[in-house]
Homo-oligomer: A and B are copies of this chain.
Amino acid sequence: MAEVRIFGLPGIPEVRAGDDLAGMIAAAARGAGGLEAGDVLVVTQKVVSKAEGRIVDLATVTPSRFALDLASQWDKDPRQVEVVLGETKRIVRMGHGVMICETHHGFICANAGVDASNVERTGTVCLLPVDSDASARAIRARLRAELGVDVAVVVSDSFGRPWREGIVNFAIGCAGIAPLLDYTGQHDPAGYELRVTAMAVVDELAAAAELVHGKLARTPVAVIRGAEYTRGEGSVREMIRDAERDLFR
């Protein structure tokens, strides 16, 4: 019987700018008895961003006139709004004190992924990594080099969704895994040919990992063992729907 196991990787210390995150994960994995080929490591965006120095001290930010106007409408910190605008390619919706932004990567999420929680010091905010696929590739390469094991790596962040309450984890970067598991052209048990049925397996893995990441626990790396996926170079860019085919831009 196929079984999927998800557990947090213990022994990751507090991550700071410039830390060798890939090395910390490799050391923690070795300490936990190693990894198995095919494991998926889901790493939270927050530790990737911290290691990569994607932290902005709001004291260094001068808000623009637009940021000042928005902030006063919505009772926000204008410097934080300025940081959000800097991470934004296009504002998709504004309202109810919320900015839904398309980031320079193409992700669509509240505040362009800029977040003030789980940072080391108040007065600082955390940005998304510049290229989370590259971050995932670096961790994967390091694990292969140091532990001799071939794993997939997913970088996750929690986003809200239209129409539904609550946030869930999404993949914002991946390596060693095809992000979509495509059933198109295969047949169900009744012989019906499945059409346009690709499972967003990286998002399902990210969501599953959140069951052990927790929001308050310091468990930034989850290991998922036993999940079915297609190996491949992979890039989360494949997950971003073309604007022309999107009904909600």
Contact = CB atoms under 8 A, between A and B. Distances in A.
Q: What 10 A-B pairs come out closest when comparing CB atoms? A: A166-B200, A208-B208, A162-B248, A207-B207, A93-B247, A4-B6, A3-B7, A108-B163, A204-B207, A118-B188
A78 interface: no
A38 to B, nearest CB: 13
B2 A192 contact: no
A207 B240 contact: no
Interface in A163-216: 163-170, 179-180, 183, 186-192, 194, 197-201, 203-205, 207-208, 210-212, 214-216
A100 B162 CA distance: 13
Given A1-B10, A96-B247, A192-B118, A227 B200 contact: no
Contacts of A211: 4, 201, 204-205, 208, 224, 227-228
A231 interface: no
A104 interface: no
B122 A238 contact: no
Most buried by B among A117, A179, A205, A239: A117
Contacts of A188: 117-118, 215-216
A171 to B, nearest CB: 9
A93 to B, nearest CB: 4
Contacts of A166: 179-180, 198-201, 203, 239
Interface string A208-239: 10111011101000001001100000000011
B165 A95 contact: no
Copies of the polypeptide in the assembly? 2
Nearest to A243: B163
A192 B122 contact: yes
A208 B212 CA distance: 12
A190 B122 CA distance: 8
B8 A192 contact: no
Q: Pick from A1, A117, A163, A168 the residue with the most CB of B within 10 Å.
A: A163
A144 interface: no
A179 B194 CA distance: 30
Given A162-B246, A239-B165, A183 B6 contact: no
A25 B40 CA distance: 30
